[in-house]
Chains A and B, each alone.
Chain A
Amino acid sequence: MIVESDGYKIDFKDAINAIKFDETDKNKTNYHGVTALKAVDIIAEFEDKYVFVEIKKYDNPDEFDESFDIIESDTGTCHKFFSWLKNYLKYKFRDSFLYRYAENKVDRPIHYICLLNFDNALNVKLSNSLRRELPLNKPSNRWVNILSKSCNVINLKKWNELFTNWPATEI
């Protein structure tokens, strides 16, 4: 089942279904249609799980290194790129979860995978921060369910090494 999104083509060979979740074309059956909610790019459905995929491709990934969280440029401009990106990925997941809850499709464990063009080291850092804030585990004893079973940020090379059943290519 092939899905194209944000410059990538992914073939979820063993999926029951895989859709471009943030579809903006009103004529398509999977049109998202709720502008108030953000949406991950792809959702793939399997017998035992759902996989949320968010794709973010940057021309200059270095701009998002956390060690340069606040850029000391000559003009004195400050940007918090890392926080911005982390929040962007976090809210994409949470809103998508709400949407799927309303669809009654949170009955299986959800795995969240962000496909970014950073190197492995930066992706490890981002994964750790994102896991804490998503949140991944039960943050309180009052919680009975978890939102997501896993959350990993990886690049294209790593995706293809890990998910041989779901080959991804740049279009």
Chain B
Amino acid sequence: MLTKIKFESFTAFEKLEINFSSGINIFIGKNGTGKTHILKSLYSACDISKSKKGFAEKINDVFYPTNKQIGRLTKRSKTSNSGFVEVKRLSNGQEMSIRLSITNHTLTPDNVKVTGSTKQWLENPFESVFIPVKDMMANSPGFRSLYSTRNIHFEEVYADIIDRAFLPALKGPTDKDRIKLLEILQKSMDGKIVSKKEEFFLKNKQGELEFTLLAEGHRKLGLLWLLIQNGTLLSGSALFWDEPEANLNPSLMKSIVKILVELQRMGVQIFISTHDYVLLKEFDLAVNDKDEIIYHSLYRDEKTNNIVCSDSISFQDIFPNSIDDTFGSLIDRQVYKDMGGKDR
């Protein structure tokens, strides 16, 4: 279970520290407040526990700075030319951390300093998934071999998600919890997913429909179906999902949120970034007192312009709430239009 992330002069952050919920973590904030950077940093730290790849190499492949020059991930500033990201987790009662330190002169991952309980970190592997904003499932045929043999300009999260989706199903019968979740998804997308020769299909009574012909929203449900069916999302794993609302009709949000809340109850730690009111509100309506959820609101401090984070455990207390503020601005302009200026 991830417990904390700490940044100093790293990508968009000057100095930032965030503690996590063991259940659901939702990041909101305007564009440019670093939501995806937090998700990518955490995912990189999780992935290496299983892939055994170097932390620096993974971060570099996931962020993909120009010319893969890792030093470019240092926050651009006049005063400092070094920075770090540190991730902390709890595993089998043991606290452990991993820290990556870079300077803006660092060219390659080999020259990066990785410190902390790195040995323990690798000795306690756990599963993690990063679902990027753009769908990759329809483009999966050939993509994996292309990615592994050619230097194509894609962040590694796109190749990773296809790899996770292609994992074969777990041995033995599917447990009750997962059957319940799969049924919710099958109902929402009217079918189940099958793969043939690196291509995915939605299979139902009408036949098999290739992913390229499937609505993007349904591809997302299909991906979630695969990850649950093949046991990637099990207790102790971590799910990172960047803007689940992209290309999803609001009517499907209820099913998505229901699944995510259930996954949390099964022991999956969840990290989501969103700009969407409906998604946020669905979480507020779906969770109960026993569920673990923290809303992390990222914003720029008015004085320093640095990114800061304000946490709340209830939807009503999210402050600042950039999503609701947008609706507030609509009301402002509507009333102004209806009733005139300040002397109304």
A residues near B (Cβ < 8 Å) are 49, 62, 65, 67-68, 111, 119-121, 123-124, 127, 149-150, 152, 154, 158, 161-165
- Would A62 and B328 count as touching, CB distance under 8 A? no
A156 and B157 CA atoms in complex are apart in Å by: 44
A123-B327 in contact given A65-B281, A67-B254 (Cβ < 8 Å): yes
A123 and B327 CA atoms in complex are apart in Å by: 9
**Which A residues touch B321, using CB under 8 A?**
119
How many chain B residues touch the partner (CB < 8 A)?
25
- Would A152 and B331 count as touching, CB distance under 8 A? yes
A121-B338 in contact given A67-B254, A154-B331, A158-B331 (Cβ < 8 Å): no
Question: Which of A49, A67, A124, A165 touches B281 (beta carbons < 8 Å)?
Answer: A67
- Would A120 and B338 count as touching, CB distance under 8 A? no
Query: Interface readout for B321-344 with A: 1 if CB under 8 Å, 0 if not?
Result: 101110110111011001100111
**Which A residues touch B334, using CB under 8 A?**
127, 152
- Would B335 and A121 count as touching, CB distance under 8 A? no
**Which B residues touch A124, using CB under 8 A?**
327, 330-331
**Which B residues touch A123, using CB under 8 A?**
327, 331
Question: Which of B250, B278, B327, B343 touches A120 (beta carbons < 8 Å)?
Answer: B327
- Would B281 and A120 count as touching, CB distance under 8 A? no
Taking the nearest CB of chain B, how far is it from the CB of A89, in angstroms?
Answer: 16
- Would B344 and A163 count as touching, CB distance under 8 A? yes
- Chain B residue nearest to A150 (CB atoms) is B338
A8 and B241 CA atoms in complex are apart in Å by: 43
A-B pairs with lowest CB-CB distance, top 8: A150-B338, A120-B327, A120-B328, A121-B327, A121-B277, A120-B324, A124-B327, A119-B324
Does B146 have its Cβ within 8 Å of any Cβ on chain A? no
Taking the nearest CB of chain A, how far is it from the CB of B112, in angstroms?
Answer: 43
A49 and B323 CA atoms in complex are apart in Å by: 33
- Would B324 and A121 count as touching, CB distance under 8 A? yes
A63 and B113 CA atoms in complex are apart in Å by: 52
Taking the nearest CB of chain A, how far is it from the CB of B334, in angstroms?
Answer: 6
**Which B residues touch A67, using CB under 8 A?**
250, 254, 278, 281-282, 285
